[in-house]
Structures are given as structure tokens and as C-alpha cells.
Structure 1
Amino acid sequence: MMKRWTEKKIDNHEVVKQLAESLNVSEEISHLLINRNIKTFDEARQFFRPQLEDLHDPFLMKDMDVAVKRVISAIENNEKIMVYGDYDVDGTTSVSLMSSYLKTLTDKVISYIPDRYAEGYGVSYKGIDTAAEQNIDLIIALDCGIKAIDKVAYAKEKNIDFVICDHHRPGENLPEAVAVLDPKRDDCHYPYDELCGCGVGFKLAQAIQEKLGLSERKVYHYLDLVAIAIGSDIVPMTGENRILAYYGLKLVNARKRTGVTALLEQTKRKSFTITDLVFSVGPRINAAGRMRHGLEAVNLLCENNIEKATSFAEEINQDNSFRQETDKQITNEALQQIIDLQEEDRFTNVVYHENWHKGVIGIVASRLTETYYKPTLVFTKSGDKLAASARSVTGFDVYNALEECSDLIEQFGGHKYAAGLTLEESNYEAFKNKFESIVKNSIDPDLLVPEIQYEFEIELKNITDKMNRILKQFAPFGPQNMKPTFYASHLKLDPYAKAVGKDSKHLKCKLIQDNIAISAIGFGLGDILEKISKDDHLEAVFTIEENEWNNQVNLQLNIKDIRVMTQS
């Protein structure tokens, strides 16, 4: 697929020079910092040396004082508390964090994750009925609840209070809960509004701990769960998220939590970056909710006995293997459906089959977006309704597009790039056509071509071990702080370049510029060898990484795209 390359240009180069001088770093490093909106010495210090002391006061969040008062009252009065969360990684880590924390203060705590198939996303009537049957006095809802107006009212009729900890966009009205913690509330002036659901739950635990006059450092023990949630929920790796992820990763790699340790052992990796959590750990946690029940993941993450934790982790690993087989099969069927319907020229992909596994339609939507790169929805039957997962392309707000189709949707929620919805089967065709029309009339056609953003052009001779050591300090990486991508031109491939891997999909080579050669790998770029000759001058965009082989570590370029230079 053709990609467009875009340089992150800086208009005022004097700013780059000034920051470089104040930090005593090269202008290249200064350029990278400014591309991340870091423009002063103090901002750079906070970026390179994240400190827990720089976390914001949790009581700056709207309703935090009310939430803390209600939770402490429940603890002091021996009330029963249900910790309720969604079945994805953010939800299950949130429930694990809050349940584990509250159990250090009271033994009247139960965890609840809705069944993906029987109850669907978010707060459910069944969950509230279960709470009533067990004489629950307070429900703490995490990573969900911001739109549960009717359900919170229903709970109120049963004398059950709600404290909501969410990070999704609120609707026009808020539920009438005791407290609604959501930094995206219009009337909330918390300094950072990009927390994930587990992050909001952490702030509540932090505030309770402070109010009780207990050691704040005790709640830092839960940051491994927060780091897993931050990575898996693809929230910006900036500000408070970056501090939480930085220290959470330290706990992950120190294997401080028994359940997490058992899960990590299934991946066969020794150390973990945020990227590893996203692609190795997150899918395994998700697999429990997709293939069986999200409570299985909570049981694992909260387990302190290593033998039980190992058994749970092995079961979840099996779930993940089954999930992989299922999503591969459904992806192939969905791709064939698009071809059969001759819909390649549409601005959207909307596909449906009543027997597709509801637990993997989000993954399938992501796969289709990777293949066709357009806003995508994958529908399946869910009871007497249709349920869908939506995925978007960079720069297009699929949530807003769904909002314009709200007359045909029963309920929906989510983010700019990922959402879920349900609708009546009779509305499917009308919705499909309206969604296509809205996207067609509002999307910039350039957004339908995958974009690779790079920092600036670099010469291979400047890619050194010293530079790499500094680049590693930019981690943890994530949205708004992606791993630096560079551009280089007038390159040659070495004569031993070859296609490797299954079906020869990947390119293994050395890139050469002015007699400087650096090893490189290009995943999915194996077919480039059929399109170039040995005399072609090439240009490429790539990241810089370390490759360990036979106990030796060498620099390697990870090629994102490569092409023959046009003659000017």
C-alpha cells in the first residue's frame, strides 16, 4: 500500500538552537524534544527524569472529594462494595487495582466484570441486580459508566450508590451518581485529561490513601497495572501518563506482582517495553474477556499464590491462542465479503455476519483498517440486536461520525479512533449507507493514505551508539511521543539483501550511504527487491533499534518504508 511521508517541520529553527544550548545537547536532540512540545529546560528535565512528585493532586479532579468521602464512609460503616469494570485490559486492570487496594482497608469487597455476550459493554442491569441480590451498598464503576444514566437511576431505586471513574467522553447529561470522576467532563479542571480508566482509578486510590493519612507510596505498588492499561488503551504518552507508565514499567520488569509475573512468563520475554505490553501482555488479558470471561483476568492479576497464578496464566494463554485462530479466520471472511460486494471504492468498510465471534470483531476491524485504510465497522449478531466495533484512520474522528448516525443507533461509546455500538438489525442497511455518506462528505481524502511522520533527515554517519543511548531515554513511547522515525536519502542496498521469513515477506539488508553501512530489517517489505535494481538510489524512513545476536548488541534500522528516489 502506498504511504505518504510527512516531515514534522519546525518553522523557527532558532528555538531549536536555543534549547540545544540550554540543555547542552545536539540540535538533533533539541529538534526531537520540540517535536514533542518540550521547549524549556524544566520541561526537558521532567521529560528525561519523570518524578512521582510531579503527579497532580488527585483532589483537583471534579467530585474527587465527594467520591473519597463516600468510599471512606462505606469502609467505616462496614458496607459492601462492588468494584465494577469493563472486560477489556483497561477495565480488568482497573478492577484489579481498586479491588486489591480496597481489600487492604476492608473485607467487604467483590469484583464484577460484565459478560461480553450476555450483558455487553459497560454498566448492565444484570450487574445491578447481582449487586442488589448480594446487598451491595456502593458500586465503584471503572472505565465505564459515564453514559449509564438509566442504569445509575435504576441502582438508586434499589438503594445502591454509584461512584463513577471513567475517561470516555460524557454525553450531554451526566448520570446522577454520588460522584462522577472523569477528566473529560467540561466542568472538570484537572490539569491532565488523557488518563485511562485505570489511571482515574489510581487517582481515586491515591486520594483515599491521602485522606486516611496513610503512606502514599503504598498505592505506587499498583503502577504496574496502570502501565499495562496505559499501553493497551493507546492513550497519549505525555504528562502524567508518562510518569505513571515510566514507574509502572519498572515494577513490571521487577516482577513485583505474582499474577503479572505468571502472565509475563507465558510470553517468554525477559524484559518489557510499553510496546511489548501492548503486543504481548495486553492481548492475553483481553483474550479472557473475548473468549470466556473478563473476571478470569482479574482473578489472575489479583492472585498472590504463584501456583494458582501460573495455572490461571496458562488458561489465559490458551484463550489467546484460540483468539488468534478465530480472528484470523473471521478476518479472511470479512476481506472476502468486501471483495464479493465489490465495495473497494467506498470510503468506509462496513461488514456483517451473524455468526462472527463478538469477542474478536474489534481485532478484525483493526485488521481491515490495516488492509484498506478507511474507517471500518465489523458487525455481528448479539441477542436480538447487532453489535459492532469501529476503528478509524489517523486524523478522522469516528466517534463524531457515529454521533451523526445516532438516530439509527441504540447506544454507542468510545474514542476518536475506536468505538462500539449496537443497533436494531432492521436499521443495518440504512446505517451502513448513512455512515458511508457522512464519512465521504467529511473526510480529507489524504487521510485515506497511511501516513508516516518522520522527525527530520539524518545521515547514516550520525547514527551512533551515543545517539542511541539518548534516544532510549525518550521511552516509554506511545501516542504523542512515538519512537523517533527518521528519513535518509541517496541510499543503496547491499548486494546480499534478501527477502526472509514466511512467504519471504520481510526485507533483510544493509543500507549504505557514503561508504557507511548499517544493518536493517523491513517487516512486510520483502517485495521491494522485485521493484528496484542495484543502481537505484533509494530513500527510506526508519527507526533506530538494537539487535541482539550471539550475545552481541548492534544498532539496526527498522525500515518503515523504502522507495526509489525520483529524478529531480
Structure 2
Amino acid sequence: MRWTLKPKPNSEKVAALATQLKVDELIATLLVQRGIETFDQARQFFRPSLADLHNPYLMKDMDKAVSRIETAIANEENILVFGDYDVDGTTAVSLVSSYLKSYYPNVATYIPDRYDEGYGISYKGIDFADDNGFSLIIALDCGIKSIDHIAYANEKNIDFIICDHHRPGDILPDAVAVLDPKRQDCPYPYDELCGCGIGFKLIQALGENRNQSIDDLRIYLDLVATAIAADIVPMTGENRILAKFGLEVINTNPRPGIKALIQNVKKKVLTITDVVFIIAPRINAAGRIKHGNEAVALLTEYDLDQAEKFASEIEQYNSDRKDLDKQITIEALDQIEINEETDKFTTVVYNPNWHKGVIGIVASRLTETYYRPTIVFTKSGDKLAASARSVKDFDIYNALEASAEHLEQFGGHMYAAGMTLKEENYQNFKDAFEKVVSETIHPDLLIPEISIDAEINLIDINERLVRLLNQFEPFGPQNMTPSFMTKKLKDTGYAKQLGKDEEHLKLFVKQPNSEGFSVIGFGLGNKLELVKNQNPFDAVYCIDENEFNGNVTVQLRLKDLR
């Protein structure tokens, strides 16, 4: 691990903010590091309000999108809500379709089959719309590069409204409206919304025509918060507002589908981390193992008994998914070792029999192991399909763009992408991708980095600090859980390994003149020797609250020690 202590921000800014907010300089430092330098910015950060959301009509083409939907309703046209099979896509489809159905009946949903149709807008989906009398398709979380598909739909007199958040190409599709804040000509003030977030802006604009306030739309925010958490978009600006109020809905009045997914969770209050690790994988499992339609059915079901049946089936898919990704990860690691490819700048593996639904998870696992930009291929019809994952601060999308001559199609983000290619181009692509990455990646990026917000002593940790840190939630990219470094800690003699494979580390640490703190280090059981016999050590950790039998205590969640 590479330990990087963030540079101390401007001391005058920190001191001024600490005075204005009546907080100590540690909290002010954490705020300034996050770009929060004024009293008003701090107020918006600590007290997010739905009133701070931007006007949806600032988004390019929003007026066209709303006008076309209102025309469809006036003319009693059939509307098809189309979306990707992942969490962002299925939540977006659930959100827009259930909103429209609340006052207009001629609405249906369509999720492409991961195996038969692949990612994004499909010809099969357009043919389905044509065969069943749909004259308007609202595409969510996909479509920004579907030039040929939209042209095909236009030939059939089917209009498209595209709501996407991926990077556009040089040419935009010829749709009635293209809602994407990443369009260069879009003046919308915030361009980090996820697909479901764009869907929410659409219903926000539609709601204005029905004299609905933002509070009337609050019930849809459980879906938006789930998508924000799953899609790993920055936890800043509008995303942070939507996530915060969405979490409130999840914890107080979730829709039956989400209620059914979380009813066995023992925690009183779910955080964004719980959404990432409990809700999102289960919704994703439907599209990975069976079909994304099953996730939409769950998320749009209003009868709790029926929702519980759907949730039970999805729980089984998730269990199957875990078994598959474990097995494929073992096979992929073996392939890398056998081919002696551990010294390369990239990790690219292929097996025609790997399950397409879990190759993205496997790519993440391999990235954790070798810490290289990683692509996992499998056979999909007559082509190869792949999922890509990157390491911190390396743009894998740009690397794919530079190797695009060997690809049939690709799309995605800086840290995650998908692609297809012809089997005969696999080796050429693999070589080209390795060459591009080796020439463009900084060697430091191949060593996992722990970014440390501040160095503190144990005596600095008190109830007020913990209470204020809790108000930094919800956490996510660009607003990560603060990490602290403390030097010259000693275990008091309680150090031990936990877990069936002794993979975790449990300590009780002290410094002179401080209280002791319980420490848990997940996956750090192999560091036990470093802390035995009261050997002094330095540690990087987050400050957590541990709830056990109704008692809440402060504990340190260890990230690394040396």
C-alpha cells in the first residue's frame, strides 16, 4: 500500500471556517479538502435540502422531452420505457414507468436480455415496440451512442427520448430529445448524475406540469439513492442531496420491493454502504442470472406479499451469482499464473464458458488482486463480450478508445466499461491494450493508494468528533469516509486473528495519555506479527461506530498498518 497524506489546505481558510462554524480545525480541514470553504457551502453540505436541486429545464432538450411525452399522453399513444439490465437501468425504468403509470395507463417496460441482446438499445427491442404499437420509447441509462439503432427506429416512425449519463461520441443520435449533462452543449450545472438521476430530473420536469412539488416526488428517491450507490458516481452536489433523502425513504417508508429485500437486515438505520453491499447486488443479480425484468417487477410491485415472493427468488439468484463469481475468479487467477502474465501492466483473460453475468464482478476481484487495469472476456453469440475495471486515477475508457480499431463497440466510464469484439481480434486487442496502458500509466498507479485526510492522536477522538463526522454522510467518491493516520500505537495484548481462515485482525490500542480503542482490520489478519509484544506501529483507519446488543461504541476500522 502507498500511504499518501493529503496536503494541508490553506491555514487561513481553515481557521476562518472553524471560527464561522464553531468547530475545531480538524473538521474545518476536512471540509476545505472537500472544496467547502464558506459558511453557505458548509450549510448546504451539512443541511442538504431538496430545494437546492437545480431546475430540470436547465438540461438541454428537457423541454422537447416533456413536450413529446405530453403529446403522447394527449394522443393516447403507447409509451415504452427502456433501460439497461443493471441497477442504474432497472431502477431508472422502475422510476419513470411507475411515475407515468400513476396517471397514464398506456405504459410498458422493456429490459434487454443480457445474453441475447447485450448492453443498450437493441434492434430486437425496437422490433418489439414496432410489433406492439409503441410510438415513443424513453431510453434510460443507455442510448447516447446508439446512432444506427435510432435511425432504424426513425424508419419505423418510432420516436426516442434518450436519458443517458455516459460520455457521448462525436455525433449524437437523431432522437426527439437527448438528455445527457455530459453533452458539450448542455448548460446543466451538474454533470455527474447517474441514469436514474436523469430519469428523476425528467419526472421532476413532468411534475411541474401537474403542479407537483418536489415533496410529491420524494417517494421515488429510494430508487435514486440505490442507483447512486450502485453506480459509484461522485457523492457531491445533487447526487449527495438525492442520496441523503433517498436513504431517509429507504429507512422510513421504502417501496414494498426494497422493504422485502432489507427486512432481514438487523441494523436500525441503513447507510449508503449497506445499499452498496445489501440492496444493489441483489437487484443486479436478477439481470446477471435470470433477467432484468425480474428486478423491475420487484421494484414496481405494490403488494408486499408478492414483493416478498419476488425478493425470495432474487435472493436465490444472488446466492447462485456468488458461487459463480467465486469459481470463475479462481479459474481466472489460475490462467494468469499459468501464462505467467503477473508482470504485465494489464490483466486480460478469456474463457468462452464463463458466465457473462458475473464477468464484471470477476474483473473487480482481479483488480483487487493484481491492481492492474483489467478486462475479462467470455463468448457471447458469435462475438466476445467483456467487462473492464480500472485502478484509481487511470481512465480505462481513454485506453479503450486508443485500442478501438480492434473492437466492435465499447462504452462506459473512467473506471468501468463494457465492449464486444470478434474472436479473431482478441489477441491483437490484448496486445494493443497492454501497449497503450504501459505507455500512459504512471507506475505509482499500479500500487494501491490509501489517501489519508489528516494525522491525529487518539486523544483527538471524542463524541463530538464522531457526531460531526457522521454528518459528513452519505459517503462516496469525492466525499469518502475520512481516513486518519496515528503513529506509535501499541496493542494492549489483546491482538488476535478472527474469521474461519483467520483473515481478520482484532486489536485494542492505546497511546500515552489516551483512552484505548477497539480496532477491527478486515482482511489484515496476516499483520498480526507486526503488533505482537507491544511493538509500536503506525496505522491508517476510519472512525466507526459498532452496534452490538443495542450498545453503540466507537471503534477504529483499520485500513493498513506498518
**TM-score past 0.5 threshold:** yes
Match of 2:58 among 43, 57, 60: 60
Q: Which residue of 1 aligns with 2:544?
A: 545
Tell me by how many angstroms 1:551 deviates. 2.3
Deviates more, 1:478-487 or 1:264-273: 264-273
Q: 5 Å matches for 1:156-555? A: 156-516=154-514, 517-555=516-554
1:437-472 CA deviation, whole Å, 9 max, x = no partner? 000000000000000111111110111111101100
Match of 2:128 among 121, 124, 130: 130
Task: Provide the C-alpha distance between the structure 2 equivalents of 1:527 and 1:394, rounded to a whole number of angstroms.
Answer: 24
- Report how many aligned residue pairs link the two structures: 561
CA RMSD of aligned residues (A): 1.0
SS in 1 for 2:332: helix
Q: Do 1:87 and 1:116's aligned partners in 2 also have CA atoms closer than 8 Å?
A: yes
Deviates more, 1:266-275 or 1:278-287: 266-275
Task: Provide the C-alpha distance between the structure 2 equivalents of 1:91 and 1:239, rounded to a whole number of angstroms.
Answer: 21
Q: Do 2:490 and 2:531's aligned partners in 1 also have CA atoms closer than 8 Å?
A: no
Q: Which residue of 2 aligns with 1:33?
A: 31
Task: Provide the C-alpha distance between the structure 2 equivalents of 1:451 and 1:7, rounded to a whole number of angstroms.
Answer: 10
Q: Do 2:489 and 2:510's aligned partners in 1 also have CA atoms closer than 8 Å?
A: yes
Deviates more, 1:245-254 or 1:267-276: 267-276
Q: Do 2:2 and 2:447's aligned partners in 1 also have CA atoms closer than 8 Å?
A: yes
Task: Provide the C-alpha distance between the structure 2 equivalents of 1:474 and 1:315, rounded to a whole number of angstroms.
Answer: 36
Task: Provide the C-alpha distance between the structure 2 equivalents of 1:321 and 1:11, rounded to a whole number of angstroms.
Answer: 46
Q: Which consecutive residues of structure 1, in runs of 5 or more, have no partner in the other structure?
A: 564-568
Tell me by how many angstroms 1:533 deviates. 4.2
Deviates more, 1:512-521 or 1:432-441: 512-521
Q: Which amino acid aligns with 1:496?
A: Y
Q: Which amino acid aligns with 1:549?
A: F
The 1:184/1:407 distance shift into structure 2, 3 A limit, reads: same
Q: Do 2:258 and 2:279's aligned partners in 1 also have CA atoms closer than 8 Å?
A: no
Task: Provide the C-alpha distance between the structure 1 equivalents of 2:311 and 2:70, rounded to a whole number of angstroms.
Answer: 33
1:129-185 CA deviation, whole Å, 9 max, x = no partner? 000011001000000000000000100111100000000000010000000000000
Q: Do 1:266 and 1:313's aligned partners in 2 also have CA atoms closer than 8 Å?
A: no
Task: Provide the C-alpha distance between the structure 2 equivalents of 1:464 and 1:555, rounded to a whole number of angstroms.
Answer: 9
1:388-414 CA deviation, whole Å, 9 max, x = no partner? 000000010000000001100000000
Task: Provide the C-alpha distance between the structure 2 equivalents of 1:346 and 1:150, rounded to a whole number of angstroms.
Answer: 37
Tell me by how many angstroms 1:535 deviates. 4.6
Match of 1:22 among 20, 23, 27: 20
Tell me by how many angstroms 1:271 deviates. 2.5
Task: Provide the C-alpha distance between the structure 2 equivalents of 1:426 and 1:550, rounded to a whole number of angstroms.
Answer: 59
Task: Provide the C-alpha distance between the structure 1 equivalents of 2:552 and 2:218, rounded to a whole number of angstroms.
Answer: 33
Q: Do 1:62 and 1:181's aligned partners in 2 also have CA atoms closer than 8 Å?
A: yes
Q: Which amino acid aligns with 2:552?
A: V
Tell me by how many angstroms 1:260 deviates. 1.2
Tell me by how many angstroms 1:215 deviates. 3.8
Q: Which consecutive residues of structure 2, in runs of 5 or more, have no partner in the other structure?
A: none
1:185-214 CA deviation, whole Å, 9 max, x = no partner? 000010000000000000000001112333
1:22-77 CA deviation, whole Å, 9 max, x = no partner? 11111000001011100000000000000000000000000000000001111111
Q: Which amino acid aligns with 1:94?
A: A
Q: Do 2:9 and 2:29's aligned partners in 1 also have CA atoms closer than 8 Å?
A: no
Q: Do 1:266 and 1:317's aligned partners in 2 also have CA atoms closer than 8 Å?
A: no
Task: Provide the C-alpha distance between the structure 1 equivalents of 2:359 and 2:350, rounded to a whole number of angstroms.
Answer: 10
Deviates more, 1:223-232 or 1:529-538: 529-538
Task: Provide the C-alpha distance between the structure 2 equivalents of 1:119 and 1:4, rounded to a whole number of angstroms.
Answer: 42
Task: Provide the C-alpha distance between the structure 2 equivalents of 1:201 and 1:535, rounded to a whole number of angstroms.
Answer: 55
SS in 2 for 1:386: strand
Give the TM-score normalised by structure 1. Answer: 0.98
Task: Provide the C-alpha distance between the structure 1 equivalents of 2:129 and 2:549, rounded to a whole number of angstroms.
Answer: 56
Q: Which amino acid aligns with 1:58?
A: P
Deviates more, 1:115-124 or 1:487-496: 487-496
Deviates more, 1:534-543 or 1:165-174: 534-543
Q: Do 1:267 and 1:281's aligned partners in 2 also have CA atoms closer than 8 Å?
A: no
Tell me by how many angstroms 1:8 deviates. 1.4
Q: Which residue of 1 aligns with 2:153?
A: 155
1:461-503 CA deviation, whole Å, 9 max, x = no partner? 1111111011000000000000111000011112110011121
SS in 1 for 2:229: helix
Q: Which amino acid aligns with 1:136?
A: F
Q: 5 Å matches for 1:57-96? A: 57-96=55-94
Deviates more, 1:310-319 or 1:490-499: 490-499
Tell me by how many angstroms 1:268 deviates. 4.9
Q: Which residue of 1 aligns with 2:116?
A: 118
1:350-394 CA deviation, whole Å, 9 max, x = no partner? 000000000000000000000000000000000000000000000
Tell me by how many angstroms 1:548 deviates. 1.7
SS in 2 for 1:502: coil
The 1:515/1:503 distance shift into structure 2, 3 A limit, reads: farther
Deviates more, 1:409-418 or 1:265-274: 265-274
Task: Provide the C-alpha distance between the structure 2 equivalents of 1:550 and 1:52, rounded to a whole number of angstroms.
Answer: 35
Task: Provide the C-alpha distance between the structure 2 equivalents of 1:555 and 1:270, rounded to a whole number of angstroms.
Answer: 17
SS in 2 for 1:504: coil
Q: Which amino acid aligns with 2:560?
A: D
Q: Which amino acid aligns with 1:495?
A: G
Tell me by how many angstroms 1:531 deviates. 3.7
Q: Do 1:75 and 1:105's aligned partners in 2 also have CA atoms closer than 8 Å?
A: no
Q: Which residue of 2 aligns with 1:566?
A: none
